[in-house]
Chains A and B, each alone.
Chain A
Amino acid sequence: MSLSWIEHLVIAPILLPLLCGALLLAINETRHNLKFCLNAAALLAQLAVYLSGNWAAPFGIALVADRLSALMLVLTAVLASCALIYGMMRWTRVGVHFHSLFQFLLMGLNGAFLTHDLFNLFVFFEVMLAASYGLLLHGYNLTRIRAGMQFIAVNLVAALMFLIGLALVYAAAGTLNMADLAVRLPALEAGDLDLFRLGAGVLAIAFLIKSAMWPLGFWLPTTYGAASPPVAAMLVLMTKVGVYVILRLWLLLFSDDANPLRGFGASVLWWGGMVTIAFGGFGMLASNSQGQLAAYGAILSSGTLLAIIGLADPNLIGAALFYLVSSTLGMAGFMLLIELIERSHNPLQAMLAVTRQAFEYEEVPEQPVGVGIPAGMAFLGLCFAGCSLIIAGLPPLSGFVAKFSLFHQLLSGPMAGTGVAFMAAVLLAGMAATIALMRFGVRTFWASGTISARLHVSEGASVLVLLALGLALTVQAGAVFGYLERSSADLQRPELYIQRVLGEPVVPPPAGGD
């Protein structure tokens, strides 16, 4: 099988982090700057590859980059760059092997977005999770160990579920290749179909644990609250991996008209998504720490996405993807931001500042009247406002555009009870988010006096980049929607995907045991 070099490019997002991570392992821990440079170079290279590649071509039987995968890869690379730059001055230095683990995490994420085989997906999930365990524990302290133990236990059980689901699907269909699965599904006999249904259900549980649907998402607030900020920003993306897999598999396997399992599990996804929205909204209202607030915000956005998939309306997918990108950027920015806010309100540091004023500087300059807020605080406040607008979905930023287009699609089609209920839930949840974020903002920026924040340029810049992307999404919404509509149109026609993959000279799967 001969492929042109551009088709080989598709494996680069997996190989590059793997090699780079392995290389970084060998370099002495004290050479932070060198490591950072290597890591950043690898990231930039990945970004360039993603943007220039735009592959529609399949690679063997394992990896396929279509528009949806490419979108997710770009999102990963952008977020990773911001998280890395943010962590440059402080977080990457509090423990060992941060850079290697970071690269392995990227390898797992990229692989999960590109892979085309269920078992391969499992392997990449495990790579991603193993790296994330290490990263979560980065900067080893008691909270992190506690949270890490729960996170690992939950994810090990989820991995076992994944394996059981895989085994059942294989037993029923005799293949684990996604496209092949979609071809074979309509021809299955009744007994095998039941088995397949069972397998798909168990698989779905595994993915829903990852995407934190309501009864399965209790691990999330603890974990997010405990992780160091750059890692938490990457965790936001990891939640979206579960949603991505559900979206892809569901549209591929269960959206076909001739399919015996058409619409399988849609009501479960819808109900689960709605309850998750409610859970996230109430959680945001009830949380009293920043980490918790952000974690429940992530639950809220993942619930919204699940409910959209559950609505099973093909017109919504483009808007849903827009929502996914915008909420991921907003949440990640918020994750990075809250640590800066927390640091500037850290009582210990505030006390230190007071002592310094009392002992070292005799003359404390009077605060000029009228310009009460130092520039650092103003910057933080503005960034916070921007993130809040995106998360709560208020105009003028991208969160609003996403919600507006969702509602527009819902209202322009025939009205169904589920659609109305969904809109009501999203509006109420948006209100809850607004109230919670506003309360937090007032408490932090207005009611607590002015404490000057010490920011490093790299930290401020990465938050700012994320926000600027949110703004760019709003300004360029037309172009972005064009792209997303095309990718959703691709998703609507699984036969194209199947053709592309199975049209290649594929090694035929062995005859199943059935």
Chain B
Amino acid sequence: MELTLSIAIGVLFGSGVWLVLRPRSFQVLTGLLLMSYGVNLFIFSTGQLWVDQPPLILQPGDPDPADYADPLPQALVLTAIVIGFATTALYLVLMIGSRGITGSDHVDGKEHDQ
């Protein structure tokens, strides 16, 4: 499970970095999305991986922490997803605006002559 997760994070982040370095804004956007997925998985994994264990302590008494998953990374991931989603959406809007005004979707360059 650890291996699968680490490979997944690595592939997501690696592809994200490659795409972010590409010249066109749509590729940059996709790259940012992939990177943020990778990062979210990474945050999730910092509380160790647990299978079939609830994050919250609901029963009365003095429960054993080992029976429960760490809830904090899950809360962090939730916030990170929301914020990442909002900022990416903003970038998308800007990208469309830029495409509409310049007629080119280069991040920082000019279109080749057709």
Contact = CB atoms under 8 A, between A and B. Distances in A.
Interface of A: 119, 123, 126, 129-130, 133, 137, 140, 142, 145-146, 148-150, 152-153, 156-157, 159-160, 163-164, 166-168, 170-171, 509-514
12 contacts: A119-B79, A130-B87, A140-B97, A149-B91, A156-B87, A157-B32, A159-B83, A160-B32, A160-B36, A167-B43, A510-B70, A513-B70
Contact of A123 (B43, B46, B73, B83): B83
Contacts of A126: 83, 87
B64 to A, nearest CB: 11
Nearest to B32: A156
B90 A133 contact: yes
Contacts of A150: 107-108
Interface string B30-62: 001001100100110111100000000000000
Contacts of A168: 46
B71 A510 contact: yes
**Chain B facing A: main interface SS:** helix
B102 interface: yes
A432 to B, nearest CB: 27
Contacts of B108: 146, 150
Contacts of B73: 167, 170, 513
A296 B91 CA distance: 26
A358 B54 CA distance: 82
8 A-B pairs with the lowest CB-CB distances in the bound complex, closest first: A513-B48, A171-B46, A513-B47, A167-B43, A167-B46, A145-B98, A126-B83, A160-B39
A209 B28 CA distance: 18
Interface of B: 20, 25, 28, 32, 35-36, 39, 42-43, 45-48, 65, 70-73, 76, 79-80, 83-84, 86-88, 90-91, 94-95, 97-98, 101-102, 107-108
A142 B91 CA distance: 15
Given A149-B107, A153-B28, A130 B90 contact: yes
B48 A153 contact: no
A166 B43 contact: yes
Contact of A164 (B32, B42, B95, B107): B42
Contacts of A166: 43, 76
Contacts of B46: 167-168, 170-171, 513
Nearest to A129: B87
Contacts of B35: 157, 160
A168 B71 CA distance: 16
Contacts of B87: 126, 129-130, 133, 152, 156, 159
A159 B80 CA distance: 9
Given A167-B42, A513-B47, A153 B20 contact: yes
